[in-house]
Every structure is written in C-alpha cells, then in structure tokens.
Structure 1
C-alpha cells in the first residue's frame, strides 16, 4: 500500500491531534481566570499561534486543501480567544493590544496582496508558502534558547514533556501529509519540528527533571 493511499487517514489523525494540541491553551487560560492575572506568563505563544494558524489558513484556501482549512480555522479561532483572554487579565493591556493589532495588520496585508494585487495564482501560492514556512521555522527555533538553558543546568524541569511528545506526534503526521501532497512548504517546517521534538525528548534521557545542586539558580517554568 503506497503512502498516497493513507492520505485520508493521515489527514484525519493529524487534524484531530492538532486540534487537541490547540485545546491545551484552555488550561493556561483557566489559570488566568483562577488567579485573576496572567502573572509572568508570556503572550508570545498565543499571538504566534494566532498568526501562524491565520497564515496557514490563507495558504490552505489558496491551494484548496480542506484539512488545512478546517484545522487552522479552529486553531485561529482558539488562539484569538486565548489572546483576548490574556488581554483581559493582563496588567500590560496596551502592549498586548499593540501586538494583536500588529498581527492583524500583517494578516490584512497578506490577504489583500494574495486576493487583489497578485494576479498570478502560482506566484501568490509560492510567496504565501514561503511566508508560512519562514514564520513556522522561526517559531520552531524559539525553544532553542530554553534548550541551551537545560543543557547548562543539566535539568529538564523547564521542558513540558507532554507538550513536546504531542508536538513530535503532530509534526510527524503533517510531515508525512506534506510528502503525500508533494508540498515542500508543509514538509520543511514539520520535519524541523519533528527533529527538534526528538532532540528534546532525547534530552530527557540525559538529564533529570529536577535541578541539580550545582546549577546555582532556580529554573523558570515555561507554560504552553
């Protein structure tokens, strides 16, 4: 049985896994509600998630890929709700509002360009794909700073094991789906995400989940 014959199954499982991963943000927002504040939690993952889902949603419409449209419609809606929740409970509302406004401006420009300015569909697809791929790669590279911290302290306390494991599973499925679609823009970021997740899981085999006595300082726990 060729990989193409698994397309519908992989699309379904990848979609379900990704939506479940998106839903983890509800637990983070629930803590905001309970505490009445966002505390030290960064809004960056929410804003990045909203931008990424929205860009991939536009790309999905351009290539008419139903699975991508469904997943990123749900993801974009959820992340926008997370951003609004964060904004409501944040003490730095003006900063968060400017960040959200900036993302919305980027999206309006992208939609306007691919809809009204670029007349050649192939060029619009290519440029939107490059933008989506680049944005996702940047987001994937973000945890590298935390990995350096883990290696220096020889502790994996700051790494969320369940999220890394789910990211590994989700990235693998979308990578395979990208191979089936023969779409390099879907393949590349998900391959990198899968490779980074495997690397992070490997670190759990090398270092404990509690700080070593020689670390010299406490680790900062990262949420979401």
Structure 2
C-alpha cells in the first residue's frame, strides 16, 4: 500500500475510533441523568478532556493538520457538554466551578501567548510541549487504579472494552505521527500504548473474579490527540 493511501486510511480509522472513545463519556453522563446525581465520581476528567482537546485543536490549526483539528473540535464539544452535565447534577458545584475556571484560564493564557508570538515555529513548539504535558498527565492518572488492582489481585475494576479501545486509538495515532514525522503526536501516544498494554496484562495476571456492575467504571485515560 502506498504511503498516501496508508495515511488516508489511518486518518479515517483514527478519527472514527477516537470519536467512539470520546463518546464513552456519554455512558457515564447517562447514568448521572438516570440517578439525578454524580455520586462520588469526579468530573475532573471531563474538564481535562475539554482542555486537552482544545489545546490539540489549537495545535492542529497551527500545523495545518486538518485531521487533528477536526477530531478535536468534536472532542472539545463533547467534553464541554459532559462537563456541563456533571455540573448540573453534582452537589459540589463551587469546587467544580473553580476547577473549570482554572482550566479556562490556562487555555486562555496559551491562546494569548501563541497569538502574540511572531515566530510561528516557536509557537508550534510551545503548543506541542504543552499538549504533550497535558496528555501525559492523563496517562499518569490511571496509575492509582493499577496499584489498587495489584493490591487486591483482581482486575474487575478495569473496563476491558475501554482499555482495548484506548490501545487501538493510541496505536493508530502513533503510526500516524511516525508517518508525518511529528514527535509531539508520537510521544504521548507511545506512552498511551504502553499504559494500555500494561493494563491489558493485568487481566491475564489478575483475571476478573466477577463482572457485576463494573462495566461503567471509567478510568481517567482519555487519549487526546
């Protein structure tokens, strides 16, 4: 298969799988709407998802990578809606609003800086570094869940379909990043692949003892590109 055809195929499949991954948040929000409460779950992943997608959208615009921009427009819109739904049903509105305000300030600061930077290459580099830091921060979040699985020797708290999808999405974007020679896309998705493989290995080492009620547990590993 010729390289242009491979890139086109990767762009299409990566966008589709990434959007499906973003839509996993709708399952969680549907539960909030049914129960009229967010329970003891955290809405921070939705806020961070909105920040990360917005930053990658900005990066895609700077680098003229339409695929990156397109998929993150969808992601930013979805995560914003998830964040709003969480705010509606949570009882801890004030702390949550502070978190969302802080994220908006970060996003605004990055946008203002890149707008004022006259050196486009420097602006792209800064945006890429910021995007990588935010995305790597997401990948570090599930480590606490991994320690819990190792401690109890049971992987039933890990959502197998979501982790499998995360591996597939990360692998696609890693290959895409290699083909277009973009290290800012390669680095976070390489780490995403490694984390997903680590979690999948836990299903072999510590098989789930039961599957009751665990399908909706959301691991904070939303991969943003």
Which interval holds the TM-score relative to the shorter structure? over 0.9
Give 1:223 deviation, angstroms: 2.4
1:171 corresponding residue in structure 2: 170
CA distance in 2, matches of 1:195, 1:2: 28
1:129 corresponding residue in structure 2: 128
2:188 corresponding residue in structure 1: 189
Superposed CA deviations along residues 97-129 of structure 1, whole A, max 9, x for unmatched, are 1111111111111111111x2110000000110
1:53 corresponding residue in structure 2: 53
Are the counterparts in 2 of residues 26 and 82 from structure 1 also a CA contact under 8 Å? yes
Q: Which runs of 4+ in 1 moved over 6 A?
A: none
Instruction: Give the TM-score, by structure 1 length.
Output: 0.92
Are the counterparts in 2 of residues 37 and 90 from structure 1 also a CA contact under 8 Å? yes
Give 1:4 deviation, angstroms: 4.8
Superposed CA deviations along residues 128-186 of structure 1, whole A, max 9, x for unmatched, are 10000111011111111111111111100111111000000000000001011100000
SS in 1 for 2:202: helix
Are the counterparts in 2 of residues 4 and 180 from structure 1 also a CA contact under 8 Å? no
Which blocks of at least 5 consecutive residues in structure 2 are unaligned? 220-225
SS in 2 for 1:159: coil
- Residues 4 and 151 of structure 1: is their aligned pair in 2 closer, same or farther, counting only changes over 3 Å? farther
Are the counterparts in 2 of residues 133 and 188 from structure 1 also a CA contact under 8 Å? yes
CA distance in 1, matches of 2:21, 2:124: 27
CA distance in 1, matches of 2:48, 2:163: 17
CA distance in 2, matches of 1:48, 1:35: 24
Q: Map 1:52-201; keep pairs closer than 5 Å.
A: 52-115=52-115, 117-201=116-200
Q: 1:223 aligned to 2:218?
A: yes
Give 1:73 deviation, angstroms: 0.3
Q: 1:22 aligned to 2:22?
A: yes
SS in 2 for 1:20: helix
Number of matched pairs: 215
Give 1:202 deviation, angstroms: 1.1
Superposed CA deviations along residues 48-67 of structure 1, whole A, max 9, x for unmatched, are 11111011000000001111
2:223 corresponding residue in structure 1: none
Give 1:2 deviation, angstroms: 5.0
CA distance in 2, matches of 1:39, 1:66: 38
Superposed CA deviations along residues 73-107 of structure 1, whole A, max 9, x for unmatched, are 00000000000000000000011111111111111
